[in-house]
Amino acid sequence: MKRLFYALNDPTRRAILDLLRVRSITAGEIAAAFAATTPTISHHLRVLADADLVVAEKQGRYLHYHLQTTVLEEAIQWLLALRRAEAADGPPPS
Amino acid sequence: MKRLFYALNDPTRRAILDLLRVRSITAGEIAAAFAATTPTISHHLRVLADADLVVAEKQGRYLHYHLQTTVLEEAIQWLLALRRAEAADGPPPS
DNA sequence: CGTACATTTCGATAGTTGCCTAAATATCGA
DNA sequence: TCGATATTTAGGCAACTATCGAAATGTACG
Strand C nucleotides in reach of protein CB atoms, 7 A cut-off: 5-11, 17-23, 26-28
The CA–CA distances, whole Å, from A13 to A19, B2, B74 equal: 10, 12, 17
**pTM, 2 dp:** 0.89
Task: Identify the CA nearest to B51 among candidates B69, B39, B36.
Answer: B69
The CA–CA distances, whole Å, from B10 to A4, A7, A20, B6, B15 equal: 11, 12, 26, 8, 9
Q: What is the pLDDT of residues A49-66, one digit of tens each?
A: 999 999 999 998 999 999
Q: Which of residues 2-21 of A touch strand C (CB under 7 A)?
A: 6, 9-10, 12
What is the reported pLDDT for B1? Answer: 80
Q: In the complex, which nucleotide's C1' lies nearest to the CA atom of residue B60?
A: D27
Provide the shortest C-alpha distance from residue B16 to chain A (in Å). Answer: 11
B33 touches strand C (CB under 7 A): no
Residues near A65 by beta carbon (within 8 Å), at least 6 away in sequence: A20, A24, A25, A26, A27, A30, A45, A48, A54, A55, A56, A57
Binary contact (B79, A72; C-beta < 8 A): yes
What is the reported pLDDT for B85? Answer: 84
Residues near B82 by beta carbon (within 8 Å), at least 6 away in sequence: A17, A21, A67, A69, A72
Q: What is the pLDDT of residues B51-91, one digit of tens each?
A: 999 999 999 999 999 999 999 999 999 999 999 986 555 44
Helix (H, G, I), strand (E, B) or coil at A55: strand
What is the reported pLDDT for A88? Answer: 56
Strand D nucleotides in reach of protein CB atoms, 7 A cut-off: 5-10, 17-23, 26-29
A1 pLDDT higher than 70 = yes
Residues in chain B: 94
Instruction: Work out the percent of chain A whose per-residue pLDDT is above 70.
Output: 90
Which residues on neighbouring strands pair with residue A88, listed in sequence order?
none
Q: What is the pLDDT of residues B8-39, one digit of tens each?
A: 999 999 999 999 999 999 999 999 999 999 99
A19 pLDDT higher than 60 = yes
Q: How far apart are the first and last CA of chain B?
A: 35
Binary contact (A69, B82; C-beta < 8 A): yes
